[in-house]
Amino acid sequence: MFGKRITLFKLLGFSVRIDLSWIIIVILVTWSLAMGMFPQYYKDLPKATYWLMGAIGALGLFASIVFHELCHSLVARRYGLLMKGITLFIFGGVAEMEEAPPSAKVEFPMAVAGPVSSILLGGFFYGILVLGRGIGFPDPVKGVIGYLAVINLVLAGFNLLPAFPLDGGRMLRSTLWSWKGDLRWATRIASQIGTGFSMVMVFFGILQVLLGNFIGGIWWFMIGMFLQNAARGSYQQVLTRQAFKGEKVRRFMEPNPVTVSPSISVKELVEEFFYKYYFKMFPVVENGKLLGCITSQQIKGISRQEWGQHTVGELVWRCSLLNTIDPESDALKALSRMSRTGTSRLMVVEDDRLVGIVALKDMLTLLSLKMDLEGYEG
Percent of the chain whose pLDDT exceeds 90: 38
Taken in order 321, 322, 327, 330, the sign of the CA dihedral is positive
Mean pLDDT for the chain overall: 87
Q: What is the pLDDT of residue 113?
A: 94
CA–CA gap between residue 175 and residue 108 (Å, rounded): 8
Question: Is the peptide bond prior to 255 cis by the omega test (within 30 degrees of 0)?
Answer: no
Over the stretch 260-282, which tens digit does the pLDDT of each residue have? Answer: 999 999 999 999 999 999 898 89
Reduce the DSSP state of residue 292 to 3 states and report it.
strand
Q: What is the pLDDT of residue 21?
A: 77
CA–CA gap between residue 113 and residue 72 (Å, rounded): 6
Q: Of 11-25, 30-44, 156-170, which gets the smallest average pLDDT?
A: 11-25
Position with higher pLDDT, 310 vs 371: 310
Task: Please report which confidence band the pLDDT of residue 354 belongs to, taking 50, 70 and 90 as the band edges.
Answer: very high
**25-51: average pLDDT:** 88
Q: What is the pLDDT of residue 87?
A: 83
CATH architecture type of domain 249-373 = Roll (3.10)
Over the stretch 72-109, which tens digit does the pLDDT of each residue have? Answer: 999 999 988 888 888 887 767 788 877 778 888 999 99
Q: What is the pLDDT of residue 376?
A: 52
Largest CA distance in the chain: 80
Q: What is the pLDDT of residue 243?
A: 78
Q: Where are the domains of the chain?
A: 5-160, 249-373
Q: What is the pLDDT of residue 378?
A: 47
Percent of the chain whose pLDDT exceeds 70: 97
Q: Which amino acid is at 103?
A: S
Q: What is the pLDDT of residue 335?
A: 86
Q: What is the pLDDT of residue 109?
A: 93
